[in-house]
Amino acid sequence: MRAPETGCRRLLLVCVLAAAVAAFTATVPLLRDWFDLRVYYGTVDAWTHHGGGIYDYLLPGTTYGFTYPPFAAVTMLPMALVGERTAIALALLLNLVALAAVVWILVGPSLRRYGWFGFALAGCALTLFEPVRDTFSFGQVNLLLLALVLSDAWLLSTGRGRRAGVGIGLAAAVKLTPAIFIGLLLLGRRWRAAGVATAVTAGATALAAWAAPGPSRVYWTEALWDTGRIGRLDYVSNQSLQGVLARLAAPGEPSRAAWATAVLLALSVWAWRTSRAVADEDWTGAFALTGLAACLVSPITWVHHLVWLLPSFAVLLHRHRPRVAAVLYAVLCSSVVWLWFDDASGLDGFLGSNAYTWIALGLLLWLPVGQPRPARPFLSRRAKATPPAPRPAAPMIPAVSGQPTSAPSFSGSTGDLGTALGPGTGPVRASRIVPTGSTCPADAKPQSSSARASSYTVRPPAA
C-alpha cells in the first residue's frame, strides 16, 4: 500500500486517522482521570499550604499517596501556585513536549523526509500506544524521564559524551528506576558520564534533604521499603517479573528467592547484550536494552511505565524489522492484559495476563543490537589455510614496426602502474587504447581463460 502523494490526500488521511484515534481513545480504553497527577497536586498542596507531610497525604477515598523520592516533590512545587485544572493543562503540555523530544531523538531524521505527514502519522500511532495514552491520562512523569535519559543517549551517539550524565542523574533523582542507566554508563566505560550522573543524583537528593529534612528521613527509612504504598503486586497492570510471580502465587505471597533469581538472570542477559552493543558504539540499542531490563527487574512496572519500550521499537524500525514492530505494537495497543483483570489463573491467564512482560523479555533476548556482521562466504578449514595463488604478470607486448616507440602516459612496463594500484592489478586499459590484433603475445598461452586478445597497441598519430 502506497502513501498518498498529494497534499490534499495526505491531509484527508491524517484527518480520518485522527478521528478514528479520537473515537478509540474516548470509548475503548479506561480513562484514568488524571489519578496520579491528582496525587502529586494534593501532596504539594498539603505540604506547602497546610503543613502536612509529603508521605502522610492520601488521595481522598483511596489508600494511595506520594511514592517518589523527596526531590520529585521539590520539582513539583510550582503546582502550589496554580489550580488543579491549570496543573492538568501544564502536565499535558509538558508530556507533549517530552513525547516530541523522544520521537525526534529516536526517529526524527527518518520522519523528517516525509515532513509534517510523517510526524502526524507518528502522533496518531503513539496516541493508540497504551503506555503512552495511560501516561497522559494518569498525568504521569514517565515521558519526561524518558526524554531526560534519551538526551544522554543522543549526546553519546553523536560524539558529545563529555556532556552526558546530567539527564540520567536528574531522572534517577526523581524516580529510582532510571538509576540502572548509570550501570549502562559503567558497562560502556564512560566513567566521566557515570560520575556526572552519580554526582547529579547525589546533589539533587542532598538538595531535597535540605529543603525537606523530615520527609527525606521518612522516605529513606520507611516509605521506600513499604511496597504496599504503591499497590498490589499481583495487580494485572504490574508487568514486571515480580508481577508474573505474584499472580502465580496469588492469593499467597511470591517467593523472594524466585524473584531474586529471575532478576539476576535478567540482569546477566542485559549486561552481556549491552556490553556487545556499546562495544560497537550502538548507544541506541544499549539504551533500549536497559529500558527493557528496568521494566523487568523493577518490583512494580505498571503499564504506563512501558514507555521505556519505545527505544526498542525505534531499533526494530532502524534494523528493518517492520513486521515484528507492527505485531508487538498491535499487542501493546490492545489492552489485552485487562481481559484477566478478575482472574489470571490457568494457562490462558499465565500467558495472557503477562503478555507485556513476555514482549519485554523477548526483546531483551532477541532485539537486534550492535553492528550487523558482514556476510562471509563459507570456506573450509583447508581452503582457509591455503594461500591464494599469485596472479601472473601481463606479458610484455613488443612494439609494432612502423609505429612510434613513445607512448602516452601508459607506456613502458606495467610494473609502475601495478605498484601504484596495488599488487596483482595488471595492465589497465585506457579509453583511447583499442585492440588492433596486429601483434601476438610473447607467451604462446592466453592470459585468461576467456581467450581474449591481449596484444594492444597505441592508436597511431593522426597523419
**The amino acid at 274:** T
- DSSP lists the bridge partners of residue 65 as 58
Q: Tell me if 337 is assigned to some domain.
A: yes
**Domains in the chain, number:** 1
Q: Tell me if 418 is assigned to some domain.
A: no
Cell of 305: 511505565
Q: Tell me if 244 is assigned to some domain.
A: yes
Q: Tell me if 20 is assigned to some domain.
A: no
Under DSSP, the state recorded for 58 is B
- Tell me what pLDDT residue 62 has: 87
Q: Cβ atoms within 10 A of the Cβ of 229, count?
A: 16
CA 260 to chain centroid: 26
Total-model pTM: 0.77
Q: Report how far apart the first and last C-alpha atoms of the chain are (Å, whole number).
A: 64
Q: Where does residue 430 rank: exposed (0-12), middle (13-18), buried (19+ CB within 10 A)? A: middle
400 φ/ψ angles, rounded to the nearest 5 degrees: -85, 135
- Tell me what pLDDT residue 388 has: 52
Q: Tell me if 276 is assigned to some domain.
A: yes
- Tell me what pLDDT residue 446 has: 37
Q: Which domain holds residue 362?
A: 233-371
Q: Tell me if 178 is assigned to some domain.
A: no
- Tell me what pLDDT residue 250 has: 87
Nearest to 201 by CA among 161, 174, 162: 174
Q: Where does residue 85 rank: exposed (0-12), middle (13-18), buried (19+ CB within 10 A)? A: exposed
Q: Encode pLDDT of 201-254 as tens digits.
A: 999 999 999 999 999 999 999 888 887 778 889 999 999 999 999 999 988 888
Q: Tell me if 383 is assigned to some domain.
A: no
CA dist., res. 386 & res. 4, Å (int): 56
pLDDT along the chain (463 residues), means of 10: 68 84 71 88 93 90 91 95 93 93 90 80 88 92 96 90 93 95 95 96 96 93 82 92 94 91 97 94 94 96 96 94 95 93 90 96 94 45 46 53 41 38 42 42 39 39 46
Q: Tell me if 282 is assigned to some domain.
A: yes
- Coil, strand or helix: which one is 75? helix
Peptide bond just before 461 cis, omega within 30 deg: no
- Tell me what pLDDT residue 165 has: 94
- Tell me what pLDDT residue 31 has: 66
Element (H, E) at 337: none
